[in-house]
Structure 1
């Protein structure tokens, strides 16, 4: 005997089957929901030597966010950004300047990229100090903070962003030298910079660390890098609790794939071509899509009640 409920369920089933038949067979393209169109795979087949050069990429990362209008959110603040010469760091420097901050950027050896960032910051009407060195060196980190204080008289915002990443397919091939370079750049560098900066920071200051989706989900080909990014997330939460009495907020941004020199100087060209295609949005982010989160976390007008948080920007995972 057929029940009314059974009839209803079969009716619903047939409705769904008819709807499924109408679905487009061709997969949709990448999601484009921003102020302008962003590149989607296939991307250029390119591979660079470390540490990578933004100036030499055949497809320039989009960092200048022309539709982003500043409103003095960081007026007369001073920010120090490691890895500020390119990629996310460059876009953060530009948007901080647009919001009224003077900026010091640290870089390893990418002189042309650093000068391009300086020019972009100065175009926003603010000052930019460029410092070259290695964040693995505690003495350099102290020196960089001291130079920033000498140049600008204060330090309000620290962005720890410099990173080293090279994939390894098997743990047996991950050498001690490779492992040390990743951990010392990505973890020691963040620790040294924070330790040097905090004595100069006052109530209302902010530290923003660059984490990663790999620190949330792991990546089988980035074992060491994933370890460091998970460590950065934990460091963020632990340090935030320690600095609450000082009025210094500590947060992290955890990006997914972003088109910067970091990945073309890691992946092989054939893999770079499809970079970001496996995200739900089916494309990598551009730096200008990530940088506003740093403004949000740096601004005491916007995020004064936020500390110890990890903000994922991962394209829909």
Structure 2
């Protein structure tokens, strides 16, 4: 039998060795923000700025990095047609460009950011793809049906739906969260996803896919985004439920849950001093850029990459 005293001495020996190692090496601390991509990304402090809603990418400083110049397409979405809500800017713009680089024609929906939408159209067409641009409100069921119909008629079908358009506005106190504010968040983030999905599914077939944009707030909550967090959690639940519903039809449904991303959504929500420190509290100490999020949508949209994946929430949140 082993001697208890001998075992205890071994424990103390290991303890001393570990203590010496701890004292001989400096603590591992990140010096500035983590940079692990093909190019260097902006890190806080960012320029103080604020925009009126819905926000315009053309006015952001620094400009979001969306074109992923080192991303090489390999026809993962050859001959597909994708419809992306909120495709004029931010994550939606980057998704549109990478989808085009992978061989898809793209339709984008935006609210009233015509200049941003035109930039996206030009970028998609520069990839050799067709791009249909439509302005409208996803809270309007009739518009969602129209957007799907125009996509099918103009581009020849619909294989990938990306629900991405969102409304976000902080409220410092529960008492300040008005019914109109609450209603706008739910109408955009939940009704918009539902209306667009309901319109799209009858045109989709086995092998097609739906990718919803969720959020880290739907996983962890956010104390000043009560309504937004609730809708994002609802989107995650909708994704899982819809995936089970559509398995018999061969349509996969998944979601990406991003952490903080540098898009017009943020300066059109936060005050200027808060924008300056946006993303600083993540373990990587910076916000993501749209081009760091968009490849996750390619992965989940492509049947070549994720044919056995449905009902999943993929967090891309900077190391939480």
User: Given the two structures, how large is their TM-score scaled by the length of structure 2?
Assistant: 0.95
Give the Cα–Cα distance (whole angstroms) in 2 for the partners of residues 144 and 71 of structure 1: 28
Match of 2:15 among 2, 13, 37: 13
1:133 aligns with 2:136: yes
Unaligned runs of 5+ in 1: none
Q: What SS is found at the alignment partner of 2:59?
A: coil
Match of 1:274 in 2: 277
Match of 1:251 in 2: 254
Match of 1:171 in 2: 174
Match of 1:222 among 212, 225, 240: 225
Give the Cα–Cα distance (whole angstroms) in 2 for the partners of residues 314 and 119 of structure 1: 29
Where do residues 111-190 of structure 1 align in structure 2 (5 Å cutoff)? 111-190=114-193
Match of 1:316 in 2: 319
Give the Cα–Cα distance (whole angstroms) in 1 for the partners of residues 35 and 21 of structure 2: 25
Q: Deviations over 1:106-131 (max 9, x none)?
A: 00011111000001001101111110
Give the Cα–Cα distance (whole angstroms) in 2 for the partners of residues 119 and 301 of structure 1: 27
Give the Cα–Cα distance (whole angstroms) in 1 for the partners of residues 305 and 32 of structure 2: 34
Shift of 1:7: 4.2
Shift of 1:13: 3.3
Give the Cα–Cα distance (whole angstroms) in 2 for the partners of residues 73 and 11 of structure 1: 56
Match of 1:242 among 242, 245, 257: 245
Match of 2:216 in 1: 213
Q: Deviations over 1:199-248 (max 9, x none)?
A: 11111111000000000011111000000000000000111111111111
Q: What SS is found at the alignment partner of 1:34?
A: coil
1:105 aligns with 2:93: no
Unaligned runs of 5+ in 2: none
Give the Cα–Cα distance (whole angstroms) in 2 for the partners of residues 26 and 124 of structure 1: 41
Shift of 1:47: 1.0
Match of 1:191 in 2: 194
Match of 1:63 among 43, 62, 66: 66
Give the Cα–Cα distance (whole angstroms) in 2 for the partners of residues 79 and 244 of structure 1: 20
Give the Cα–Cα distance (whole angstroms) in 2 for the partners of residues 24 and 213 of structure 1: 29
1:285 aligns with 2:291: no
Q: What SS is found at the alignment partner of 1:32?
A: coil
Where do residues 6-85 of structure 1 align in structure 2 (5 Å cutoff)? 6-21=8-23, 22-24=25-27, 27-85=30-88
Shift of 1:23: 1.5
Root-mean-square deviation (Å): 1.5
Give the Cα–Cα distance (whole angstroms) in 2 for the partners of residues 302 and 292 of structure 1: 11
Q: What SS is found at the alignment partner of 1:23?
A: coil
Shift of 1:18: 3.7
Q: Cα–Cα, structure 1 residues 27 and 312, in superposed 2: closer, same or farther, change >3 Å?
A: closer
Q: Cα–Cα, structure 1 residues 9 and 28, in superposed 2: closer, same or farther, change >3 Å?
A: farther
Q: What SS is found at the alignment partner of 1:245?
A: helix
Of the structure 1 ranges 11-20 and 167-176, higher mean CA displacement relative to structure 2 is found in 11-20
Q: Which ranges of 4 or more aligned residues in structure 1 deviate by more than 6 Å? A: none
Of the structure 1 ranges 22-31 and 53-62, higher mean CA displacement relative to structure 2 is found in 22-31
Q: What SS is found at the alignment partner of 1:55?
A: helix
Count of aligned positions: 316
Shift of 1:26: 6.6
Q: Deviations over 1:243-284 (max 9, x none)?
A: 111111110000011111111111111111111111111111
